[in-house]
Structure 1
Amino acid sequence: MPPDTTRADRGGDSSARPHPRPWAAGWTAPPGGPGRVAAALAALALLAAAVAGALAAERPPAPLPADAPAAEFSAERAWPHLERIAGTGPTPIGSEGAADVRAHITGELRALGLDPEVQTGIGARAFGSGVSAGLAANVVAEIPGTDPTGTVLVAAHYDSTPTTPGTTDDKASVAAVLEIARALTAGPRPRNDVVLLLTDGEEPGLVGAEAFAAHHPLARGGGVMVNLEGPGNAGPSKVYDIAHGNAGVVRLLTADTPHPAGESALATGFRDMPMGFNSDRTALAEHGFTGVDTGFTDGRAYYHHPRDTVEAFNKSSLQMHGANGLALTRAAAAADLAEVRTDGDATYFSAFGVFAHYPDTLAVPLAAAGALAVAGLAALARIRRLAGVPRMLAAVAATALPFAAAAGIAVGLWELLLLIRPAYADLVSDAYRPLLYRCALGAALLAAVWAWAVPMRRLLGGVALTVGALTWSAGLGLLLAWGLPSGSYLGALPALAGAAAGAAALLLRDRHPRLAAAALALGALPGAVLVTLPGAALLGMTGVSMLAPGALVLMLAGLAAVPLLTEAAPAGRRRAALAPALCGLLAVALTAGGLAVDRFDEEHPRTAHLAYLLDADAGEAMWASLDADPHPWAAGLLPDRAGPGLADLPVPGVGAVRRTGPADTADLPGPDVEVLDARSRNGGTALTVRMRPARGADRIALLSSAPVRSAVIAAEGHPDQELPPLDPAEVRDGTGTDAWAWALEFSAPPEEGLLLTLETEGEQAPRIGAAETTDGLQTAPPLDPRPAGLDVMPSMSVLTSDTVTVFRALEP
């Protein structure tokens, strides 16, 4: 009988019988055998169940009833506050609605035995080529500590944008703070002073927080800040932003949070972005406060949206939000805050209801360990003649293909949705019901990585392919250890676990193939779980219009399963292609389901942007819109594409306008602005300018054609406020225009007006522009009412929809 070469030909023990193609070996022998496929499929199923369990573990808990113990947070007790303060419509800074909410807050705090004050003052902050300022009215109350080592600041903001009632941004947090205050006052006094800060004017530019930091004595000395925010309206309340020097705060967070959710990879990533998230905590961090932002990271469709109502929110999310906020407040209130304030950062992440953390100083050692482990696996594979060096290097290069496919799938899915439903172009961020679209993306990514892995297994071998995928994880871990240490675990831990599991599988592959499959599943678990959680969070934060970042992260999670995917493909090309094809069909079906479920209707309306601009000097007016393809309701008013000269108008945010059209001229007075003095000084020009709101404007603006070296703003009855300088890098990045090098927009201006003292660059007096804006189109020429199922576009820090702006320019 001739010698049996079948086993060797299928990738058996090459040390006993050399294989003519050793790189074709898989993780089990023979690859593609029925028993091996079944074992790999079972391991894949368990891995998928673990990922689903990790996602489910972050679901918000059931709300506690109104008769819950007094020391606990109860969403049922907080809910009436939310109904009361969110049911009156938008409450922007300076509005009557904001005053009504403020009265409710102060009344409830007095009922708890506290002595709240309303702090009014000017706050200002620089953004890009402009300064946002305003006259804010903050509510401040203190719970004195028994033996204070510092201050714990519990904060939320009660103002909204003009386009939304602000249920989740941020009145749910206000309701949570009131319930947290009740729970704290129901028990023994805390060790540290606890300050409750309900700010005004967060939306136009953190002006309330800046006013508190600049003028209130309780802001001196810094402390720990627990800031409750609302970047979405659904899902878990996560730690989505965190201060520098956070190691002490992370220790408190991970020890006492009842419903852990959050990952430092996203929090520090967003924090360090050039134009990342800004919140009241951002402002207070510059004045000595460390701390965190927590908030709902899903439901971004409702961000600043007219339908961000109590009816569109749920008590479970509020329960998680408030319970976590109360726990962290109590932990900080009991701690020695001198030990909490540190210079070091920490890595943290949650999984299966548990927070893990370690100091960022371990990022480099862990990343190096991951890289060495992958190198060791490669060496072991080479020694056992299961993967040659050229094949492993080819596998590293080939692993770029799944990432390219992920980006293409994400962009392609969005373009397909736009092609089928052009009205999706109206979306500011996300669809109203995006779940099926996200699942479709996940299925398409799985189809892509599986369809890539099957032929690559035949070409390079499963072992080499796994080494290639783990090399990318190890490389990412090293890269992030250098640039973003708190995110390095996304690559380092999957590489370390995957390489260790691969080594175990190589030792088990011949005699115990099922144990080898189990080892591979365990090795894939950290990559699949720890990377999927931030990937899923990214999908919620960015929405269906920008799926690529989340898709790339999810593809990294998919690569962790490469050894199982290669083993789960049966022998034979047609049979091996069956699983990827089924995943692709599932993606198509889920996309079709998403289109069927997520339809625009009166409860889930389309939005349209329209603003009225009036040049008081020329007596000319126009309609303007941020929409590139306006809704038919407004399209007839907007026949023209915006020209480049539009950005030269003295109107903040007008550069984002996409369509314009001529409009009738309304009989409205121009801004009441006067240059009282202009003289040369220090090689520049010193100006004194007086501005008054001519028609009860909600916002007034002053613009200068020359850069401003320094500026001070004064309002009767309030301390003078020096305006912050602009960041030259942000101005160079294109946030300015050729005509206007500097701009100030002031919200809630007092009737008696403002006095500004400016010093500009250049000896020639600059050109000055002025504008004032009122919310609502009541003073604009008559319009047809918006049809049912068409709402105001949510405001997004540029020219707000449904506003009237009158402007003029003063020549030097």
Structure 2
Amino acid sequence: MGRLVALAAALAVGILLFYSGARTPEPLPASASGQVFSAGRAMADIEAMAQVPHPVGSAANAAVRDRLIVRMTALGLSPRIQRAIGQRYEARRSEAFGALAPVENVIGVLPGRDRSLPALALMAHYDSVPGSPGAADDMAGVATALETVRAIEAGGTPARDVMLVITDGEEAGLLGAQAFFDESPLARRIGFVLNMEARGGGGRAAMFETGEGNGGAIDLYRKTAPRPSATSLSVFLYKQLPNDTDFTVAKAHGATGLNFAFIGREFDYHSPSSTPAALDQGSVQHMGDQVLGVARAMAFAQALPRREPDAVYGSLFGLVLVSYPQAAGWVVVGLIVLLLGFAAWRAQRREPIGWVEVARGAGLSLLVLAACALALHLTRLLTGFGFGWIEGRGLLARFAAFEVAMALAGAGAAVSVAAAAGEGRARITGAAAALLAGVACSVLGGDIAGLIEGGLVAVLALAVFGRPARLPESWLGLLLVPLAAAVALQVLAPTTAHTVAWPLLVAVLAAVVLDLGRARSLTSWAITAALAAASIAWTGELMHNLLQGLDVPELPAAPIWLASLSVWPLAWPEDGPKFRRLAPGFGIAASGLVLALGLRFTDPWSPRHPAAAEPLYVIDRDQGRAFRVSPFAPDPWARAVLAADGGLVQRHSLPTFRQPVWAALAKGAPPSSPSPLVLLHGPGGALTVRADLAPGEQLDLVLRADAPVGPVEVDGKPSPILSQPGQTAHMSWQGPLRAMAISLRPPGHGSLQVQYARYSPDWPAAASSPQARPVDVMLWDRAGATIVTGNYNVRW
């Protein structure tokens, strides 16, 4: 019973420690001292500028721009507007992607004492996606920048210029940032960038990305940012992911800096629910505290942080940041080896260690990892929500409950492996349970991935279960696997090695204190429980971030596995009835599975978290037909909208949609709609594709050429699209645009296929408007828009 009490205490304290570290700070009121950051003052700007959606080119965005001019003028920043046609291109294998829109960046400067010094830039974007007011993304960043400049100014004249770069067109493809760094002379004066973003509506603000050579910047961040939240793991992961922010453009132009964002309350990301009232003001306070701390230090310093080799760093419980050079990671690994070697040597002196049993322990380590992954996969599928941004929104609406279910299932699996190993005789039952879980995953998920996972767990169970294992050897073997992983990461990706090394170091300290499980003193077990609680709290933050950031259910198995390294002796079965020894792990896991089923069979939607609906009116000019369309499975209200003309709602493959959509044929002939494109043939075989777009309109183009097309220009500027025969180019243009053109000069014969889709913000006048919505349904993204599609084939 003593170990069970220690396990319960470690779990309780670890969860409380994690929760206290994950909480956002109390927002300071507008009456707070002028020297500090006040979320109350920042919220005044958010409430004024995030009332309605304001995508690039819209009248609402122009109103936000005007408000920015007024605010920056009041701060003495002498704001100016950079107007440009923003263009950005990216090539991926046989495809090229491009975006274009007119942008209006708003730039202001707080003059410093020495204007020849490189400037500090505070950067955020003021446009939103079409369907969201953007209170978090990114009006929270804009307001944070304004309040940060005000606080700096309140402290006197800074040593260097502080530049406020509020970009336009970020949501359309980082277009404002691209135009600024490509064209503005002010961009060449910037020495350091602090960018502010959001991918949710709450949570602690993380410093998740840096420029190259971040050693000096991290040292300054460590010294100046209160309640830091950062890890060098995120910098490594972000480089591997296809996500971009304005900071991506700054880095591509050689700038260095820090990138901040909060990602909690992800239901509100790019959602109509992202309103000032729904925004967590504590998130704004946390971002502002960090940004102001760093910005103030840089603004008043004579020198900016030097570029030094990337550092290894991570925050501890939201209190402090620990950082060190990459080479120092070998010191941490060496300390782990020494402590683990000492623990093994001392245990060997008391009683010979069975190295075959140590090998079994290493197998148990792999089994814990695999079993946790299987349990998490099954739990995710039991919720009944699909994978995908729209499909999984029911989980985002109740993310806290989902997170608890996943944590319980994973922790229960880990505790069960420890109990079964100590109990023995679990080879057949363990393998059978794994196969049953794998089959359930495959049935629920419609693929064989779960069955493969279940088969792997079954093989490991057959290999390592059997006669009762002994705690010292099993714990020693358990620790050897993460030691190998830490060494591998230190060699291959040293800025990520601390993710394994730090919890492993805590576990090895516990192994020394507990004499690999042989100690009997209450003090030793209390210290071990305390170390386990610290490990649970730290790895809990990693699990929390993985669950929020990526819908890959197996990934959180890694932090649960790392926590198990310290929890292992507490989960080891004590003497007593078999049921009592196995019940804790099975009970914890079962609680998670039951909670997941509860999410499956209860309604997630409410006025605060409404279901998403996106009814569209699609006119296929080539076929002479019109459809009422939903890109994703319609709820009852959206289905009624689709069927309003009497058409049958069913899956259709329609132009411009990559996947089949739910659609019903609209009544009568489609409304008259002219083509948005004009094709012009010029002298010397020149070919021009031209378009005019009104404010609020968008034109998506897909171009394929079967022969070289020669130099390509877009808006008179060279473009990399169609650089190779057979390449597919995807272009997205946002209005207002006049006579915007793609110009080709093919050297020989060939053909060009052009597929277009023009989005207009309203339904045709002749089509009946959608009926009144229930309060638990919201219009998503471009809901209510008309899309006109068609094709051209041009030969030369």
Residue 35 of structure 2 is matched in structure 1 by 71
Residue 25 of structure 2 is matched in structure 1 by 61
| TM-score scaled by length of structure 1 | 0.83
2: distance between equivalents of 1:384 and 1:794?
67
Contact kept, 8 Å, 2:607 with 2:777, in 1: the verdict is no
Which residue, 156, 165, 170 being the options, matches 1:188? 156
Residue 691 of structure 1 is matched in structure 2 by 691
Residue 440 of structure 1 is matched in structure 2 by 405
- Secondary structure of 2:787's partner? strand
2: distance between equivalents of 1:152 and 1:709?
42
- Cα deviation, residue 394, structure 1: 1.7
Segments of structure 1 that go 5 or more residues without pairing to the other structure are 1-36, 681-685, 715-719, 729-737
Query: Which amino acid is 2:97 matched to?
Result: G
Which residue, 779, 782, 786 being the options, matches 1:804? 786
Q: Which moved more, 1:705-714 or 1:666-675?
A: 705-714
2: distance between equivalents of 1:246 and 1:195?
21
Per-residue CA deviation, residues 431-470 of structure 1 (Å, 9 max, x unaligned), is 2232122122222222211111012124222222222332
Residue 88 of structure 2 is matched in structure 1 by 125
Q: Residues 550 and 337 of structure 1: is their aligned pair in 2 closer, same or farther, counting only changes over 3 Å?
A: farther
Residue 467 of structure 1 is matched in structure 2 by 476
Q: In the TM superposition, what are the counterparts of 1:322-401 in structure 2 within 5 Å?
A: 322-335=288-301, 337=303, 339-367=305-333, 369-370=335-336, 373-374=339-340, 377-378=343-344, 381-382=347-348, 384-385=350-351, 387-401=353-367
Residue 23 of structure 1 is matched in structure 2 by none
1:197 is aligned to 2:205? no
Contact kept, 8 Å, 1:779 with 1:804, in 2: the verdict is no
Q: Residues 441 and 43 of structure 1: is their aligned pair in 2 closer, same or farther, counting only changes over 3 Å?
A: closer
Residue 531 of structure 1 is matched in structure 2 by 539
1: distance between equivalents of 2:120 and 2:543?
32
- Secondary structure of 2:751's partner? coil
Residue 714 of structure 2 is matched in structure 1 by 713
- Cα deviation, residue 53, structure 1: 1.6
Which residue, 487, 494, 497 being the options, matches 1:488? 497
Which residue, 375, 378, 381 being the options, matches 1:412? 378
Residue 745 of structure 1 is matched in structure 2 by 732
- Cα deviation, residue 357, structure 1: 1.1
Contact kept, 8 Å, 2:124 with 2:138, in 1: the verdict is yes
1:499 is aligned to 2:499? no
Residue 78 of structure 2 is matched in structure 1 by 115
RCO higher in structure (CA 8 A, sep ≥6) = 1
- Secondary structure of 1:701's partner? strand
Which residue, 163, 182, 190 being the options, matches 1:214? 182
Contact kept, 8 Å, 1:348 with 1:486, in 2: the verdict is no
Which residue, 268, 279, 302 being the options, matches 1:313? 279
- Cα deviation, residue 534, structure 1: 1.6
- Secondary structure of 1:229's partner? strand
- Cα deviation, residue 75, structure 1: 1.3
Contact kept, 8 Å, 1:611 with 1:803, in 2: the verdict is yes
- Cα deviation, residue 198, structure 1: 1.0
Residue 104 of structure 1 is matched in structure 2 by 67
Residue 608 of structure 2 is matched in structure 1 by 603
1: distance between equivalents of 2:146 and 2:746?
45
User: How many residues are aligned here?
Assistant: 736
Residue 580 of structure 1 is matched in structure 2 by 585
Residue 665 of structure 2 is matched in structure 1 by 662
- Secondary structure of 1:197's partner? strand
Contact kept, 8 Å, 1:134 with 1:746, in 2: the verdict is yes
Residue 109 of structure 2 is matched in structure 1 by 142
- Cα deviation, residue 395, structure 1: 1.9
Contact kept, 8 Å, 2:207 with 2:230, in 1: the verdict is yes
Query: Which amino acid is 1:764 matched to?
Result: G
Query: Which amino acid is 2:771 matched to?
Result: P
- Cα deviation, residue 676, structure 1: 3.5
Per-residue CA deviation, residues 232-273 of structure 1 (Å, 9 max, x unaligned), is 10121122333332222211211111221222223431x222
1:556 is aligned to 2:562? yes
Query: Which amino acid is 1:135 matched to?
Result: P
Q: Residues 594 and 627 of structure 1: is their aligned pair in 2 closer, same or farther, counting only changes over 3 Å?
A: closer
- Cα deviation, residue 657, structure 1: 4.4
Per-residue CA deviation, residues 119-153 of structure 1 (Å, 9 max, x unaligned), is 11122223453112211111100112223531211
1: distance between equivalents of 2:586 and 2:630?
44
1: distance between equivalents of 2:727 and 2:672?
27
Q: Which moved more, 1:94-103 or 1:288-297?
A: 288-297
- Identity between Structure 1 and Structure 2 (%): 25
- Cα deviation, residue 792, structure 1: 4.7
2: distance between equivalents of 1:793 and 1:484?
44
- Secondary structure of 1:347's partner? strand
Contact kept, 8 Å, 2:177 with 2:249, in 1: the verdict is yes
2: distance between equivalents of 1:768 and 1:223?
43
- Cα deviation, residue 521, structure 1: 3.5
Q: Residues 744 and 507 of structure 1: is their aligned pair in 2 closer, same or farther, counting only changes over 3 Å?
A: closer
Residue 28 of structure 1 is matched in structure 2 by none
1:773 is aligned to 2:778? no
Which residue, 614, 625, 628 being the options, matches 2:630? 625
1: distance between equivalents of 2:394 and 2:605?
15
- Cα deviation, residue 82, structure 1: 1.2
Contact kept, 8 Å, 1:454 with 1:576, in 2: the verdict is yes
1:454 is aligned to 2:449? no
Contact kept, 8 Å, 2:14 with 2:535, in 1: the verdict is no
Query: Which amino acid is 1:659 matched to?
Result: W
Contact kept, 8 Å, 1:63 with 1:74, in 2: the verdict is yes
1: distance between equivalents of 2:42 and 2:375?
43
Residue 10 of structure 1 is matched in structure 2 by none
Contact kept, 8 Å, 2:413 with 2:586, in 1: the verdict is no
1:757 is aligned to 2:743? yes
2: distance between equivalents of 1:407 and 1:131?
38
- Secondary structure of 1:399's partner? helix
- Cα deviation, residue 422, structure 1: 12
